[in-house]
Amino acid sequence: MKPGDRVKVESKIGSFEGVLMPEENEFLVLKLNTGYNISINKKQVTKTELVEKQKEPVEKQIKTEQNKSLPTISILHTGGTIASKVDYDTGAVYNKFTPEEMLKMFPELTKIANISSKLLSNMSSDDMRFSHYNVMAKAVEEEVKKGVKGIIITHGTDTMHYTSAALSFALENCPIPVLLVGAQRSSDRGSSDAAVNLICAATFIVNTNYAGVALCMHEHSEDNHCVILSGAKCRKMHSSRRDAFQPINTTPIARIDNNTKQITILKELKKSEGKLLLKLFDEKLKIGLLKVHTNMYAEEFQTFSKFDGLVIEGTGLGHAPINEIDKFTKEHSKIFDEVKNLAKKMPVVMATQTIYGIVDMNVYTPGRRLLEIGVLGNYCDMTPETAFIKLAWLLSNHAKETKDLFNKNLRGEISESIAYETNPSISQQN
């Protein structure tokens, strides 16, 4: 029996049937029908039976019937769980589907629009860098020039909110919908959310006049609805749930019923305001993101002394341990001095690690001291990730104006009024 064969295993912990994966030391590994793997210590295995040998896949040439009466949607493929499958040579789930294979996986898309596709990369979203944002932005520009109705970018979910924010800034006056779509469950699992997310994204594109960057993902864990979320005001809030992406300090843009394909508009849709302009990222910039915690040391801040900018993910309303109040907090004076030194060298901005809510450094003394030494971000409600991206983009395109522009709403990243309805526990207090 070889990896890829279907086998039945009798063991002291039970009977299991699934696809044999490569061995892991003393463990026998099976991929069950649920898509999950189970590891069984070989010492506990009493019997192994071959059910079916792995069949060599027969690749068929894909023929896509295009309907000239339908609008065209371009799919730009970057990888991620949305296009992943099991590699039985290694036992891992890899991103191996080409754009053409995606059409074979999701034939429903061709009933909604003419689908063109292009492979930009096949990577994990954790490997994204500013360079990749520029590649995507340039690819979007090419598709816009072709006159497509909209663009879907398939993307790994782990850093998809970084990319959606980056493209929101890089694509100035974006005239068409650019929707990032991912999946929390790989396509080889029965519970995969890939098809629903893609189909709802395509449905939204062809039936609205939205212009700009957004995400399309599950609203709840069920397959009933997807929501369109602002590219600069959303965040991945769960490691594995299908409704991991949530709007932050705002509401969804729209809801798509997966069963009826009905679209409910929840916010006024953005419209194009001019010709698309690319404002790309300086790929050599070094931007830091530092999370405040208890028992900090000045050395943690000194790490970023040679960077171009720093985002401090502060506690509460935007605080850091900078007050020396007793013999145990002498380090805090050093921290304050280091933040002050950094703020003289580069833009240092504050975001709150509470995620929901606004930065207000005027309320308490620590915040006011940070304001006095030039820390930016007061009265902003950006997520730390969006603040990170915005700072990098400003330094790339408006370096001399960064300190003046950071607190201004440029792409809908700052709310005119904070909407707490997305977090029920907070809305009770508002």
Contact by Cβ (8 Å): 170, 137: yes
On the 0-12 / 13-18 / 19+ scale of CB atoms within 10 A, 161 is buried
In DSSP notation, 295-307 reads S--HHHHHTTTTS
Active site residues: 81, 157-158, 236
**Residue the block writes with tokens 């950006």:** 382
Residue 143 and residue 165: Cα distance in Å, rounded?
Answer: 20
Q: Which residues contact 94 (CB under 8 A, 6 or more apart)?
A: 84, 85, 86, 87
Q: Which residues contact 200 (CB under 8 A, 6 or more apart)?
A: 216, 225, 226, 256, 258
Q: Which residues contact 308 (CB under 8 A, 6 or more apart)?
A: 285, 286, 287, 346, 395
Contact by Cβ (8 Å): 396, 280: yes
**Residue the block writes with tokens 């068409």:** 176
Task: Please give the single-letter amino acid code of residue 191.
Answer: S
